[in-house]
Amino acid sequence: MKKWFRKENLEYILSLFIAIAASLAIGALIMLANGRSPILGYSALIKGAFGSKYNLATTLAKTVPLVLTGLATAISFRSGIFNIGGEGQLYLGAFAAAYIGFTFTALPKGMGILLAIIAGGIIGAAYAFIPALLKVKYKIDEVITTIMFNSVAVLLTDYLVNYPFASSRGKMGGTEMVAEQFRFARLVKLSTLNTSIFLMGIIAIFIYYLMEKTSHGYDFKMVGQNSLFSRYGGIKDKKQMIIAMLISGALCGIAGAFEVYGVHYRFLQNISPGYAFDGMLVALIVKNNPIGVILMSIFFGGLKTGSIAMENATSIPSELVLVIQSIIILFIAGEAGFKRIYKDLTMKRKLKKEGGTK
């Protein structure tokens, strides 16, 4: 616990707050430029995100896929392999999980859910394995392959739900519903918050221990140490990269399974509005720290939920939060550089002063 209070960590937390404050300030300027009051906008946003039991539940429900995909990103980036394919792994995992739920409908409750989660995890991991193998064996840039694989997975599942597995009734672009006994119970009326959040908690604790407390985690760090926030450099161990990528893919697949069994009860063609990309953003902002991922996911979930209330209050499009989020990441990515420039400036000023007194 002590290392949390080390100088560089405190410094980082300070710069994180400055980055968020600056991004929110830019958001405020955009509101002002549109002739709206930022105070009104932001207070509506906060109220909309955390103001009532229902709002808080909606925020937490949005947090679930962000935490899982965020941890997936963190574990892969720390090992020096960049899994940008979370979205594709999520889609395939979600479909595999849904397949279990509408095919083996006679299974007892616990068995069905367990099987579905395992199926989602395995398919997600398998889909992440291909680019991982191409990376370590043939040195093919995993960033490009995983991005290409995202599009392929989305198109493939799009085909599956529209042709061989199209629902016989109801809307287009969805599979049959999964059996009723498998579904995660809802926790708060009207909100989609469900019991999968507890499972997410268990998984998060497990990943935290894996990344921070075990010798295995130490390996992950060793592999990606120098590249904590940079892509190149650092020793890169092939086996570690593959393991990290498998875990990463499994987490994304499980995130997909949770969406199916907790929210939609079926696989839908556009089941994820880019959860894995948001998760990646979250992990990048907190420099792949697992606890940071959870806190930042709640913040992002709050921004998403609250943005609707903000839109109602000020008629500023809710998409403003997308701009705010991406500005945060720009500031954080430039953090080290900004700090250096700041130090240079203060040093110069000091030198000038000292030179003047002499």
Shortest Cβ 149–another protein spacing (Å): 7
> With binding defined as CB under 8 A, does residue 152 bind another protein?
yes
- Out of 9, 34, 270, 312, the residue judged to bind another protein by CB under 8 A: 34
Applying the rule CB under 8 A, the residues between 169 and 228 that interact with another protein are none
Of 38-46, 140-148, 173-181, 195-203: span binding another protein (CB under 8 A): 140-148
Give CA–CA dist 77/244, Å, rounded.
Answer: 9
CA-based diameter of the chain, in Å?
88
- Write the DSSP assignment of 137-200 as a string of letters: HH---HHHHHHHHHHHHHHHHHHHHHTTT--SSSSSSB-PPPPGGGSPPBSSTTS--BTHHHHH
- Nearest in space to 302 (alpha carbons), one of 316, 288, 283, 282: 282
- Can you give the C-alpha Rg of the chain in angstroms? 22
Binding of another protein by 148 (CB under 8 A): yes
Q: Which of 122, 181, 277, 308 binds another protein (CB under 8 A)?
A: 277
3-state secondary structure 269-317: CCCCCCHHHHHHHHHHHCCCCHHHHHHHHHHHHHHHHHHHHHHHHHCCC
Q: Does the protein bind another protein through residue 25 (CB under 8 A)?
A: no
Site for another protein in 299-318 (CB under 8 A): 316-317
Taking CB under 8 A as the criterion, the residue among 17, 53, 111, 162 binding another protein is 162
**Selected binder of another protein within 178, 255, 281, 294 (CB under 8 A):** 281
Letter for the amino acid at 318?
S
* 35 phi-psi bin (left φ>0, alpha ψ -120 to 50, beta other): left
Rounded Cα distance between 72 and 64, Å, is 13
Q: Are 241 and 79 in contact (CB under 8 A)?
A: yes
Residue 325 as a binder of another protein (CB under 8 A): the answer is yes
Least separation, in Å, of the C-beta of 356 and another protein?
A: 29
Choose, by CB under 8 A, the member of 4, 159, 218, 342 that binds another protein.
Answer: 159
CB of 319 to another protein, least distance (A): 4
- 134 makes contact with another protein (CB under 8 A): yes
| Interacting residue ranges for another protein, rule: CB under 8 A | 34, 82, 84, 134, 138-141, 143-145, 147-149, 151-152, 155-156, 158-159, 162-163, 229-231, 277, 280-281, 284, 316-317, 319-320, 322-323, 325-327, 329-330, 333-334, 336-338, 340-341
